[in-house]
Structure 1
């Protein structure tokens, strides 16, 4: 009685084997043809072709390596900043400079030089950009990232695009943050002169995210080298602020506007996730789900640090408006959302028992964080 069942499964696996063999044959045929053509050429062409092939293999090998190993990735990276909390706002005097206790720095009157609290937002932003382009290779502008997998864009494959999406998510937050530093936080009520260091940092981060050494218009600067200028400018702003020579306007209305911008940015990303959820329910076979997920994860990763830093910069406002408990809850939920790190991203039906919907989970986390930010904003607006 079991013979028909055994025969059925035997027949099924035979056809699966034939199908896989046929697919492998299609994939391997161009390489076999190229190999036969190559070995039939002269030694000069073989040498040139072999050298070109070696370069391509090395480029792809390096690309595969840097996309799989994430140096410095740590969801608890703002922990040191969180432990050093006080009630002094960024830009406010904090006493004498470090070196004045030994008489090393004095003003013209002979009094110790004043020191102001640097901006945690600016300092952490510089660190995140450093994480993106110095501690890790900047994936989106690498030549192999542009070449794709045999001409197929990496985002349309399940391979090697997660880190690039994560970096772009962080960079989106850095662009938003530097814009707010230039327009509101780094000047008095929008009427004072724009801080040139912050302006230069914003301009640098506006550079094309995928620029290589050669572009459509000829030679150009690669993205990482330009972003490194933003690091220097943000740290120069903090150095100037620490000497009380720059401005950080830590007012309640500025914090409220900053939270508004963050809430809008997070809301836009959650809408992108919803569109992808509606467009596909292919589960683990959705080729675009992973880059959508890791872009959103990169945003949450960066905003977690930025909001911890904002608590330091706006310490006086948060204490005055009794926002400490609300802010702590928001930070806790943000940190908890970073624990969602599935090995394979699935975009299944939200009612599926077998294919989870990681995009729906990420979307829920985004909206939860946004809800907390809106609540903080409403308290500030009273």
Structure 2
């Protein structure tokens, strides 16, 4: 046993040297023959073929490494770039404009729509849209990057951000951009909603995914760009008084209710992943749970974490924009303090951005419980949303 321990470092060193020599032999030209002083026949062709293959792999892989390396423009102060004070003339009281029937209107741009524009631009123009990138879709030698410990965090973040934008797109079309269900939905909002619902993994050609059209079709980010343009057209018309934006309290309540339910699903996924042991009341003992406490060695935890981070990053701006659009309701209903706490808890969740995501136990010593920390911040925000809904429902 002792001899085996002594010999282990030597064996490890020999293995490393062997691999270094193999790599060196691959990259360097073959050695010259000791007797003739010449290299093997056709060595230039074989060596040149190696270099061509290596160059092709580099050209294919480098864009993925470059774009997946970090999220460009990630800044929690981004709402300040978008939100400004608006001239809102509607709330629970309807306003008569131009002699028409009384309809809720604003004479200014909607900050929620401007925030949708900003976040879409952030996702598809300031950053490369990773889920539809062919190098990312192909995976690591065919293995999806979602199942590997690297290069998948940005795509997960974009998935989460898109889910928040889709939720807001639905509410803008069905409730905010029309007067109840009796009026016609705004065409630009309908177009924006339809385009943003496009599958987010579509590229020009999709030969390996039966759920997507083979092609040629427009990639996801091209279609999302059309949503951005539709939102711009709507807000331009709204500023001129040619569109509706209904800021009644029941619409605000509904929007928060839908967000709260979406976040509840997120918390459920995070919680299941962190539950290595759960208490069984019938057995009166702890039994294995659905998750684990592997800490840094849970290579799927970062996907769930960054998807939640993307959602909270988007809602960090959208809820501040909602506050400006619904300021009449928030001020008259005395919701200012609760809304302050809501924004604070959403910002706390959006600021949790560890270098390496760890799914450790809640009472762990070495490995943090990042998923549990994210769940706690989201749950606090949900409590504030429920409080606001209670006040609006009275």
Q: Give the TM-score of the pair, scaled to structure 1.
A: 0.83
Q: Secondary structure at the match of 1:218?
A: coil
Q: How far did 1:153 drift?
A: 1.2
1:223 to 216, 220, 244: 220
Question: Distance between the aligned counterparts of 1:227 and 1:144, measured in 2?
Answer: 20
- Contact 1:90 / 1:119 at 8 angstroms: preserved in 2? no
Equivalents in 2 of 1:71, 1:90: separation in Å?
Answer: 37
2:265 aligned partner:
268
Q: Which residue of 1 aligns with 2:279?
A: none
Cα separation, 2, equivalents of 1:195 and 1:380: 26
Alignment map for 1:1-382 (pairs within 5 Å): 10=6, 13=9, 21=16, 51=52, 53-81=54-82, 84-85=84-85, 88=88, 116-216=107-207, 217-278=214-275, 279-382=291-394
- Could you tell me which runs of 5 or more consecutive residues in structure 2 were left unpaired when the two chains were aligned: 31-39, 99-104, 208-213, 276-290
* Aligned partners of 1:274 and 1:360 also within 8 Å: yes
Given that 1:185 and 1:254 are in contact with CA atoms closer than 8 Å, whether structure 2 keeps it comes out as: yes
Change (3 A) 1:204 1:11: same
Measure the CA separation in 2 of the matches of 1:239 and 1:40: 71
- Cα 1:10–1:339 change in 2 (3 A) is farther
Q: Aligned to 2:151, what secondary structure does the other structure show?
A: coil
* Contact 2:82 2:115 (8 Å CA) reproduced: no
Q: Is the 8 A contact 1:263 1:370 kept in 2?
A: yes
8 Å contact from structure 1 (residues 81, 308) kept in 2: no
Match of 2:288 in 1: none
RMSD (Å) for aligned C-alpha atoms:
3.2
Distance 1:13 1:176 in 2: 57
CA separation of 1:344 and 1:265: change in aligned 2, threshold 3 A: same
Contact 1:184–1:249 (8 Å) recurs in 2:
yes
Q: Give the equivalent residue in structure 2 for 1:98.
A: none
Contact 1:289–1:347, Cα closer than 8 Å, also in 2? yes
**Aligned-partner Cα distance in 2 for 1:248–1:11:** 76
Is the 1:87–1:319 contact (alpha carbons within 8 Å) kept by the matching residues of 2? Answer: no
**Offset at residue 338 of structure 1 (A):** 2.4
Question: Can you give the 5+ residue segments of structure 1 that lack an aligned partner in the other structure?
Answer: 95-106, 108-113
Write out per-residue CA displacement over residues 37-69 of structure 1, whole angstroms, 9 at most, x where no aligned residue.
xx9989889877755653331121111011113
1:352: Cα distance to partner?
1.4
Give the deviation of 1:327 after TM superposition. Answer: 0.7
Contact 2:192 2:231 in 1 (8 A): yes
* Compared CA separation, residues 196 and 45, structure 1 to 2 (3 A): farther
What TM-score, normalized by structure 2, do the two folds share?
A: 0.80
Structure 2 CA distance for partners of 1:10 and 1:243, relative to 1, 3 Å:
farther
Distance, in Å, in 1 between the alignment partners of 2:66 and 2:135 is 12
Do 1:87 and 1:316's aligned partners in 2 also have CA atoms closer than 8 Å? no
Give the drift of 1:171.
0.4
SS of the equivalent of 1:136 reads coil
State how many pairs are aligned.
Answer: 351
Inter-CA distance 115–247: structure 2 relative to 1 (3 Å threshold): closer
Contact 1:121 / 1:313 at 8 angstroms: preserved in 2? yes
- How far the C-alpha of 1:17 sits from its partner, in A, is 5.6
CA distance in 2, matches of 1:71, 1:169: 16
Asked if structure 2 preserves the Cα contact closer than 8 Å seen for 1:90 and 1:120, the reply is no
Partner deviation per Cα, 1:106-129 (whole Å, 9 max, x = no partner): x9xxxxxx9811111111001101
Contact 2:203 2:219 in 1 (8 A): yes
State the distance in 2 between where 1:336 and 1:245 align.
38
The whole-number CA distance in structure 1 between the counterparts of 2:71 and 2:359 is 24
